[in-house]
A and B are shown apart, each in its own frame.
Chain A
């Protein structure tokens, strides 16, 4: 079946530091890939997405590139802010194998950015 593996953290950084959160996946079909962010006490927000190999998703200074050869979708940001403190989930959606629109999530990575 489909699965997503991401570094679990927690990750603690100082403001303006560089961020990388690793995410790799296995899928039976040709999945779309997503990063969701969850701020404390809130629901999930779509941060960025990519639907085919070599696509780069980007939003709010965050980027991730769909790498089919390494089955990876690592999240990066060049300079984090305190307001980026949240839990980040890597996820995939695969219509192959009868998955029928389901989102498969990684376990989440807690990011804390200190001033």
Chain B
């Protein structure tokens, strides 16, 4: 299995809703990432988990809450989002430090619309 699987593919939520994005990989990768991508822009890093511990939080608002229940799963909990949070949310994984050499595997993303 050489994929990163993200669910759902599309999500529409109101500003008062609570929802979660899910990401799963079975490649044995020990680093997992959340990126946010607005239209016609490059991905922006949000969070990095290394060996199931949060190692980087790029000053993301608290309405985004990451969780790494185990080495294969990564969640992003969403609460009280704003319309400007509408974007493509990408999950990625890498073989820890060797992501430096081997690259990162991205999922196909969740397209989020906040209404």
Contacts and interface: CB of A to CB of B under 8 A. Distances in A.
A53 to B, nearest CB: 14
Contacts of B81: none
Contacts of A51: 100-101
B42 interface: yes
Contacts of B104: 46, 93, 103
B31 interface: yes
A32 B98 CA distance: 10
Contacts, number: 64
Interface string A74-98: 0000000000000001000111000
Interface in A46-78: 46, 49, 51
Interface residues of B, number: 28
Contacts of B103: 32, 34, 46, 49, 93
A106 B42 contact: yes
A106 B108 CA distance: 19
Contact of A95 (B48, B55, B97): B97
B105 interface: yes
Nearest to B99: A101
